[in-house]
């Protein structure tokens, strides 16, 4: 009976390097996907909000200001139409603020 042939003593370097490179690449992609999933980040972009509410705490006093302020607090209107800044009734602003905090 004839003894079995011995395997070659040399490793195929090209195949070995390809396997190492493929393993590192797949591992890196897996780590990146896991990190994105755990941090809550996604590969999509979030558009900026369409409107912004600007708050101001400036106290001004002048004759008749209380009446005109009360009218402005109860109505919708434009503060700066070109910039897209609008005024909303105070009751609606309070409701929206409380809804955002829940």
Question: Based on the structure, what is the number of domains in the chain?
Answer: 2
Alpha-carbon span 72 to 86, nearest angstrom: 11
Three-class DSSP category at 54:
coil
Q: What pLDDT was estimated at residue 98?
A: 85
Query: Tokens 């591992």 sit at which residue?
Result: 27
Q: Which H or E run contains 21? A: helix 13-39
Residue 4 within a domain:
no
Which tokens belong to 59? 């106290």
pLDDT, one tens digit per residue, over 8-61 is 777 788 888 999 999 999 999 999 888 877 776 555 566 666 655 555 555 555
Residue 64: predicted pLDDT: 60
The predicted-structure confidence for 85-96, as pLDDT tens digits, reads as follows 888 888 888 888
Task: Give residue 32's domain range.
Answer: 11-46
| 33 class by beta-carbon count within 10 Å (0-12 exposed, 13-18 middle, 19+ buried) | exposed
- The whole-number pLDDT of residue 20 equals 95
82 and 39 belong to one structural domain? no
| Residue 56 maps to a domain | yes
Residue 5 domain flag: no
3 located within any domain: no
For residues 19 and 57, membership in a common domain is answered with no
Please list the residues that pair with 13 across neighbouring strands.
Answer: none
pTM: 0.32
Query: Which tokens belong to 79?
Result: 């503060």
């Amino acid at each position: 009976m004839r003894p079995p042939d011995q395997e070659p003593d040399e490793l195929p370097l090209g195949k070995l390097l390809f396997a190492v490179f493929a393993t590192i690449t797949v591992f890196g992609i897996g780590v990146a996907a896991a990190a994105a999933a755990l941090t809550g980040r996604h590969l999509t972009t979030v558009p900026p909000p369409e409107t912004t509410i600007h708050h101001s705490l400036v106290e001004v006093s002048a004759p008749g200001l209380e009446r005109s302020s009360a009218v402005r607090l109860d109505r919708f209107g434009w503060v700066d139409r070109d910039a897209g800044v609008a005024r909303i009734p105070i009751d609606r602003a309070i409701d929206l603020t409380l809804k955002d905090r829940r």
